[in-house]
Amino acid sequence: MSISNLGLSLLVITMNLCIYSIIGSIIGIRLGNSQIKISAKNAAYCTFFTTLISSMCLVYAFVTNDFSIKYVFMHSNLSMDPAYTWVAMYAGNEGSLLYIALVISLSILLVLLFKPKDMYESEPHLIAIMSGFLLFFIGVMVFFANPFDTFQTNIPTDGRGMNPLLAHPGMFSHPPLLMAGLATISIPFSLITSMILTGTFRNNGLDFVRTTSLIVWSILGVGLLLGSWWAYTILGWGGYWVWDPIENVGLMPWLVMTAFIHSIIVQRRRGMFRVWNVLLIFLAFVLAQFGMFINRGGPVVSVHSFAASTLGYIFLGFMVFSALFCSLIFIANYNKIYSDNKIESVISREAAFLINNFFLLAITFVTLWGLIFPLINEVFYNETVTVGAPYYNAVNGPVILLLLFIMGIGPNLSWKGTSNSNLKTNLLYPSLIAIITFTFFFLSSNKPFMSSLALSSIALVLSTIIFEWFRGSRSLIKNGTHWLYAFFKLISNNRKKYGGYIVHISILLVALGVVGINFYQVKIDKVVSVGERIEIGNYKIEIAEISENNFNDRREKVATFLILDSNENIINTLEGNNTFYPTFNMASIRAGILSSPIEDLYIIPSDFIDNDTMKLIISINPLVWWMWLGGPIFILGTLISLWPRNFNKS
């Protein structure tokens, strides 16, 4: 038996396990039979191991260059860096579906293992829903997109190779995290749906829903940020964020999940927003399926569509099914989830959360409209329209600013209502700092009004967080605690809140980078020859050398630049390259980047005219370094927020 037969057989076994798990759970629920329920649960456990071994078969085929498998032939070749053979599994449609199935099966295993015990009532429903979701992906692979399909005759001796744009260190982190993030939105979705179906969507299990949502949200967030970093270093993706359709379909569920993880706090604290939370999680799930559809054969053209296929209609069908399923569950159970509690004051924490939710949804719908508008135009008016970055920046920009503003105000408000004295005490200094920041930047630079507004909003949020930390630590210091211990004690006492604030700081750092690159960037285009010098900002750039390297699958032209400071001292040597892949008729351009907290010197060898001459795009991108620092801080904040507390001991 070949490795391809083993891999496919295991997929068929997984499919049967899913069917058994679904039917077993339903029968178990109907008959109230514990044995059937446990057996169905065991089937759900088994799906992980069968999917894992099936995935290992595909990785093994890549590592051993088994070109008898069509998928391996399409996405690998002998001259590829061996490190990439371990991850080439998700370089195309079929393999990435297998990867998604593996992630879902792992989610099922982990959710069933770590789910709190007071959620036993909804467990069979949860198993049925999650197994149903897994069944869809396994079914697509078994019937339409088999990753183990083989050549019957004329087995090739070498492969076509992986999409050149994917040959980047980012391949090890960005695609798996983004796909995992989109797939695992099914976890909070399934948890909430199962709780609704069993009438237990109250406080039990809510912490677990929040925990899983935070994990999913952070995976998706880190995946998006890593994608930005990847796109920043390789020109083929179009820049760190260009509002490309595939970028947008990853962003939209993340925005909705951001709204959800905020509003679930209100439900946990005050028993409010139950209907709203259900709507949000359903929307996030449907948008994740929309993302799958756009990414896999959807009608929108994107530079990121490396997993494109002809299966778009299947994913469209699943998305429509998901939307109908959600609507049905919502309508049928509306009375069970409706909450009587109302917002008592507009100047309250819960109102701030709701406003934050509206802004996040506004950005989501603006993005969605920009994505579907060209399709609508083409279908109804037969006109080709492109919606690009100017639309998104013009419409989303002000809403993002308002969102930043509410991020600064919200934490100063109290639950149920805020007294005037509290408002004055908590908001006075942050507001003053914001006003001073705005005045300084508005008067001292000739940049647009929006840039000063953005920087003052960042100052408002940051000072709000710092002052709250200060107030909290001060109250502990009064009791005789050392200030450093008091600071850590404060965070430890309310990890969810202060972990959240650290995440807010990471968002501010990303915003700082965006403001820097959008409003303060300096850019020049020039045709230069070896030996020539260019001046930009405080840098002098000397073109030291242009070399050419030929490989089996690519021709690589490398430009070496000497970077000198104003005193003619060499401070660094940078390389940028332009690599052409004849098989794909595609070029991949890698920028030379000298990064510092103040600014990035960014050199793109966009075109090599002859052996000595090339066209360069050079820019100084201020504050981008902080954007990438936002990633680790984002993870740190999420981890603090998730860190469990042992109440049996305390």
- Report the interface residues with another protein, using CB under 8 A: 1-3, 5-6, 9-10, 13, 17, 20, 32, 34-39, 42-43, 45-46, 49-50, 53, 116-118, 120-121, 199-200, 202-204, 207, 268-271, 411-412, 414-417, 419, 422, 425-426, 468, 471-472, 475-476, 490, 493-494, 496-497, 645, 647, 650
Which CB atom, from 24 or from 250, has the smaller least distance to another protein?
A: 24
CA distance 615 to 107: 49
Structure letter (DSSP) for residue 118: G
Main-chain dihedrals φ then ψ at residue 451, nearest 5 degrees? -65, -40
Provide the CA 622 distance to its chain's centre, in angstroms: 24
Which CB atom, from 68 or from 377, has the smaller least distance to another protein?
A: 68
Which CB atom, from 57 or from 187, has the smaller least distance to another protein?
A: 57
- The DSSP string of 620-649 is EEETHHHHHHHHHHHHHHHHHHH----TTT
CA distance 148 to 314: 20
Q: How far is the CB of 632 from another protein (least distance, A)?
A: 25
Which CB atom, from 336 or from 615, has the smaller least distance to another protein?
A: 336
CA distance 634 to 623: 17
CB atoms within 10 A of CB 593: 16
- The DSSP string of 384-402 is -----HHHHHHHHHHHHHH
Which CB atom, from 43 or from 387, has the smaller least distance to another protein?
A: 43
Please state at what angle helix 206-233 crosses helix 624-642, rounded to 10 degrees: 160
Which CB atom, from 56 or from 242, has the smaller least distance to another protein?
A: 56
3-class secondary-structure state, position 239: coil
Q: How far is the CB of 293 from another protein (least distance, A)?
A: 32
Q: How far is the CB of 647 from another protein (least distance, A)?
A: 5
User: Residues 442, 452: contact at Cβ < 8 Å?
Assistant: yes
Which CB atom, from 238 or from 271, has the smaller least distance to another protein?
A: 271
Which CB atom, from 13 or from 564, has the smaller least distance to another protein?
A: 13
CA distance 326 to 497: 31
Burial of 15 (0-12, 13-18, 19+ CB in 10 A): buried
Q: How far is the CB of 201 from another protein (least distance, A)?
A: 10
User: Residues 243, 374: contact at Cβ < 8 Å?
Assistant: no
CA distance 216 to 180: 8
Q: How far is the CB of 24 from another protein (least distance, A)?
A: 8
Q: How far is the CB of 357 from another protein (least distance, A)?
A: 20
Q: How far is the CB of 390 from another protein (least distance, A)?
A: 41
Q: How far is the CB of 94 from another protein (least distance, A)?
A: 20
